[in-house]
Structures are given as C-alpha cells and as structure tokens.
Amino acid sequence: MALLEVTDLTRAFGGVIANNSISFTIEKGEIVGLIGPNGAGKTTLFNCIVGYYRPQQGTVRFKGKDITGYKPFQTNREGIARTFQIMSIRGDLTVLENVMVGAYCRTSDREVATNEAMHILSLLELKKNARSSLTELPIAAQKRVGLAMALATKPELLMLDEVAAGLTPKETEEMVSLLRKVYKLKDLTLFITEHVMEVVMPISQRVIVLDGGEKIAEGRPQDIANDTRVIQAYLGEKYAKSR
C-alpha cells in the first residue's frame, strides 16, 4: 500500500483550474519532487492534500485511509506536516514557543512539548535562538524554524513548499544537508516543491511535473531533465544541457 495516494484530484478557483484530475502515489521512505512553472498548481496540490482547500473532485488517501476533506489539524494528527512557501510568522511568540505549537499536536503536557521542541531545535542547530523572536532572525534561520515547527508534529510525510526560496547558494546547501539528515534520522517520507533545481533534482528519487494545473510528466530526475515537454514547459535548454 502506498503511503499517499492521490486520485483524480481537481480544484478550481472560478475559471482557473489549478489542479486538473491529478493522480499519483508516494511510497513510504521515498523523496518525491514536485516541479513546474509559477502558477502550475504546486501549492494548491499541497493545500488540497493537507486540507487547507477541499478538492472539488478526487480523493486523498493516507496509509489506506480516505482523508479527503480533513482539516489541517486532522491531517497533521494522521501524520502529515508541511512547511509554507510564505510563512505565517507569530512574531509575538519566541522560536521555542512557535515550535511548541507543533509539539502540542501530539501532547497536551507542557514539559513534554518543551522537551520535544528543544530536541528539534538542537537537531536543526537553532538551540541558541530558542528565546529569540522569530522576526529577529535572518531568513535562513526563519526557514529552519518553519521546518522545526513541522517536524515537532512528528510527521511520517513531510511536505516542503519552497524551503530554499530566498536563500543564498551556501544557505541552500546547508538546508539540503539538514533535510538529508532529518530524512534519515526521523525515518521520513519527503514531498518537495522547489524552483531551485539544484535542490530538488539531486535529492529526489522521483519527480512529478505540473504545468497549467495538469500533470505533464513523472519519472526519475535524469529522465525528467531530458524530457522534451518538461524542457519546453519549464526547465529550458540550460538546465538540460548542463547535465
């Protein structure tokens, strides 16, 4: 049984069909990339899976269970967490408190939540920032806090929406090695959408391509990088030739 199974998922906003009958599966332990041009429907697909949007058609199954229409707190409890392309920052809370919000998904005990949050913060090299306000931190550290908040809910499936956006090449490299570390340590399955090909192509075992709300390709990164339709829709000749 697949960990995640999306079947025939459709979501429109007025006349814009953001996701048009999308189907795919993700196996436990896989790292799957999701790529495509701006407005292709990547974030909408994430939002439909975790329950920010209700699909108008289709189903989302997680570990065999139909979770279509579940609210975000419910999909979170089932074992799905996501990070946000645009983070909603609680500037009035400290870094530790923000991460504890995630930990409260699994416990109502303050001490347990604090310990779990501190464990995640040290894993992501954020322990020294625990008492800072999130808004005081540079963007790279804020992105790591977003990752920490998601990890604190103890997910099986972690979905990352552009974790490298706005980072320098060095910060991007650090983010990739952190992702590899938590993937191994926490026995995760990753679903990653990203415009930075240097992040998504090397880390993904399989890549799904969206364009204009349609799934136009799916396959191994090296095959996707040489797929004529994907090159025309998104990658351009530059990335394909540099391989």
Ligand X SMILES: Nc1ncnc2c1ncn2[C@@H]1O[C@H](COP(=O)(O)OP(=O)(O)OP(=O)(O)O)[C@@H](O)[C@H]1O
Summarize as ranges the residues that interact with Mg ion (CB under 5 A): 42-43, 85
Nearest approach, Cβ of residue 16 and ligand X (Å) = 5
The nearer residue to Mg ion, 34 or 99, going by C-beta atoms, is 34
Nearest approach, Cβ of residue 161 and ligand X (Å) = 7
b vs e for 191-208, b when ≥16 Cβ sit within 10 Å of the residue's Cβ? bbbbebbebbbebbebbb
- 59 three-state secondary structure: strand
Residue 35 binds which entry of Mg ion, ligand X, none, with Cβ cut-offs from 5 to 8 Å by kind?
Answer: none
The nearer residue to Mg ion, 113 or 213, going by C-beta atoms, is 213
Residue 4 binds which entry of Mg ion, ligand X, none, with Cβ cut-offs from 5 to 8 Å by kind?
Answer: none
The nearer residue to ligand X, 103 or 143, going by C-beta atoms, is 143
Nearest approach, Cβ of residue 80 and ligand X (Å) = 18
Residue 51 binds which entry of ligand X, Mg ion, none, with Cβ cut-offs from 5 to 8 Å by kind?
Answer: none
CA torsion angle for 146, 147, 153, 159 (degrees, to 10)? 110
Element (H, E) at 142: helix 139-151
- 105 three-state secondary structure: coil
The nearer residue to ligand X, 48 or 188, going by C-beta atoms, is 48
Residue 144 binds which entry of Mg ion, ligand X, none, with Cβ cut-offs from 5 to 8 Å by kind?
Answer: none
Nearest approach, Cβ of residue 201 and ligand X (Å) = 16
The nearer residue to Mg ion, 43 or 76, going by C-beta atoms, is 43
Closest residue to Mg ion, based on beta-carbon distance? 43
Contact 29, 206 (CB under 8 A): no
Residue 38 binds which entry of Mg ion, ligand X, none, with Cβ cut-offs from 5 to 8 Å by kind?
Answer: ligand X
Nearest approach, Cβ of residue 35 and Mg ion (Å) = 11
Nearest approach, Cβ of residue 225 and ligand X (Å) = 18
Q: How far apart are CA 158 and CA 185, in angstroms?
A: 13
- Regarding beta strands 189-193 and 31-35, do their DSSP bridges make them parallel or antiparallel, or are they unpaired? parallel
Question: What is the sign of the dihedral through the CA atoms of 46, 50, 54 and 60?
Answer: positive
The nearer residue to Mg ion, 87 or 93, going by C-beta atoms, is 87
β-bridge mates for residue 13, sequence order: 16
The nearer residue to ligand X, 13 or 237, going by C-beta atoms, is 13
CA torsion angle for 137, 139, 144, 145 (degrees, to 10)? 50
Q: Could you give the maximum distance between any two Cα atoms of the chain, in Å?
A: 54
Nearest approach, Cβ of residue 111 and ligand X (Å) = 39
Q: Which residues bind ligand X (CB under 6 A)?
A: 13, 16, 18, 36, 38-44, 85
93 backbone φψ class: left, alpha, beta (φ>0; ψ -120 to 50):
beta
